[in-house]
Structure 1
Amino acid sequence: MTELAPADLAFAAMLLVCRLGACGMLLPGTGEAAVPMPVRLGLVLALVPLLLPALAPAMPPAPDDAAGALRLVAGELAVGAWIGLLARLVATALAMAGQLAAGFIGLSSMIAPDPAMGAQGTALSQAMGLAAAAVVLASGLYALPLRALAESYAVLPAGAPFAAEAPAQALAEGVAACFALAVQLCAPLLVLSVLAQVATGLLSRVAPQAQVFVVAAPAQTIAGLALLALLLPAILSHWGEAARAAWSALPGLG
């Protein structure tokens, strides 16, 4: 590493913390709400000495005015948050699939809100969100976003202008892919829900005096949970492959 003035070296470390911290707060696994904030901060600070020797020479020098420093800090925060949000969308797809599945099998409830998914969140969506974090940490998928974050300095150098058009388009495409993946993951339960509703309608026509809902609702829930338990390994495997493909196209890797 070339010799840098102490002020420039400290400023380069601060810029690293800005991008790494903004991304680390959103990354699947490390950015979960259940992970204590000191642990997240410790992980970010542990990456700084690993990346600083290689990246410090390419970092912009410390500006003389506060406005210039704020501009550089804001740019690094924006880049880090953008990369982290792109990675987070893939994990959100699995939690969203759990939320959709809960609605299909009759487990959604307004009295059990999920802070991450909103007032209509369900226990199943929380379980799927935890499953996403477990798969990421157990399979080593977390290395892809971290590598993309380190390699992002080659395509988005610190201090370079951060145009909003391309990131906004990438986020829009990521949101669309998130919805599509969520529907794909819970498609079998959607089919089961449609068949259950058709069967309930036919039964109500054949036996109007019967309490169809009392019989059909528990049966639909039990069948849905059984089907989900049967398909869960395949769902997680498919999600893992989709996450690997999506994260391999993150800025710096794709």
Structure 2
Amino acid sequence: MGEADAALLAALPAMAFHAVLLLSRLGAAVMLLPGLGEAEVPATIRLALAGAMVLALLPALSPSLPPQPAQVSDLLLVVVAEVLCGLWIGLLARVLALALAQAGQVASLMIGLSSPLQGDMVLGAAATALSRLFSLAAATLVLATGLYELPLRALAGSYAVLPPGSGLPAGFAAEEMTRVAAASLAIALRLAAPLVLAGLMLNAALGLAARLAPQSQIFLLAAPVQIVGGLLLLTMLLPRLLAAWGTTMSQGFASLPGS
């Protein structure tokens, strides 16, 4: 056995440990990233993507990664910390991208396609076909426009912000999650603002008509008009809504930790 082979065999344990560290963070994040981590994407494809990222980043990041701990308990703590970092980064991007689905739910409520009393086990609110359509549109836009590159770039740069072995700072993580959740809700309300305004004006007009003619079922008679008119308005606004969402996501993904 030559010296090169002996050196390679000696370096294999450290390389395997570094690969596990990278896979812990990258794999956890890829499972949640918008577009790449959708439920419609098979888990094998997501794992293959995480493995490819490990192979691409391992030569560059291996010199800066910590050595393998001597104790098994310390090893488990490091791996769990890396998984938490990956889940945190993936969840930040996921919550930000949920703005379009939230806008779809608000639009559904305002045009009469949903009720605030209707529960949903996944989204926890009045989930309708319109909100599901917006969710699929968000995933399609992320993949079609190349927006997925920004979270992946932030994920690769996160090793400079959160070095492996340092753990996840709880205060900083909570502040970032709060900021992203507030930004996502603000984006959703801005996207749905035209439909909210139209719905408020329509309901105010229907309320006045009901006071003038209390015997007639104004709200029941106007329900089809509200739904058809809301869908027509949404159809006219949809290209601008998607363009505005894409621009906002580009800015939001660029502000993720590690970007």
TM-score range, shorter chain: over 0.9
2:32 to 20, 26, 32: 26
Identity of aligned residues (%): 50
Matched, 1:83 2:79: no
Cα deviation 1:191-230 (Å, max 9, x = unaligned): 1110111111111122222221222111111111111111
How big is the shift at 1:236? 0.7
Whether the 8 Å CA contact 2:78–2:167 is kept in 1: the answer is no
Q: Distance in 2 between matches of 1:197 and 1:69?
A: 60
Cα deviation 1:93-127 (Å, max 9, x = unaligned): 11011011101111015898655312531111111
Gaps of 5+ in 1: none
1:96 to 85, 91, 102: 102
Equivalent positions of 1:84-163 (< 5 A) are 84-108=90-114, 115-118=121-124, 120-163=126-169
Match of 1:17 in 2: 23
Whether the 8 Å CA contact 1:148–1:251 is kept in 2: the answer is yes
Gaps of 5+ in 2: 1-6
How big is the shift at 1:162? 2.3
Q: Distance in 2 between matches of 1:224 and 1:45?
A: 45
Whether the 8 Å CA contact 2:82–2:167 is kept in 1: the answer is no
Let me know the Cα RMSD of the aligned residues: 1.8
How big is the shift at 1:91? 1.1
What TM-score do you get using the length of structure 2 for normalisation?
A: 0.92
1:189 to 173, 190, 195: 195
Distance 1:111 1:202, change over 3 A: closer
Whether the 8 Å CA contact 2:24–2:79 is kept in 1: the answer is yes
Matched, 1:167 2:173: yes
Question: 3-state SS of the aligned residue for 1:186?
Answer: helix
- Greater Rg, structure 1 or structure 2? 2
Match of 1:41 in 2: 47
Match of 1:243 in 2: 249
Whether the 8 Å CA contact 1:115–1:121 is kept in 2: the answer is no
Which segment drifts farther, 196-205 or 11-20? Answer: 196-205
- Write the letter of the residue equivalent to 1:49: L
Alignment length (residue pairs): 252
Question: 3-state SS of the aligned residue for 2:257?
Answer: coil
Question: 3-state SS of the aligned residue for 2:38?
Answer: coil
How big is the shift at 1:60? 1.2
Equivalent positions of 1:220-231 (< 5 A) are 220-231=226-237
Question: 3-state SS of the aligned residue for 1:64?
Answer: coil
Distance 1:245 1:226, change over 3 A: same
Matched, 1:204 2:179: no
Greater than 4 Å deviation, 4+ residue runs: 109-115
How big is the shift at 1:247? 0.7
Match of 1:62 in 2: 68
Q: Distance in 2 between matches of 1:142 and 1:161?
A: 25
Q: Distance in 1 between matches of 2:184 and 2:162?
A: 24
- Write the letter of the residue equivalent to 2:171: E
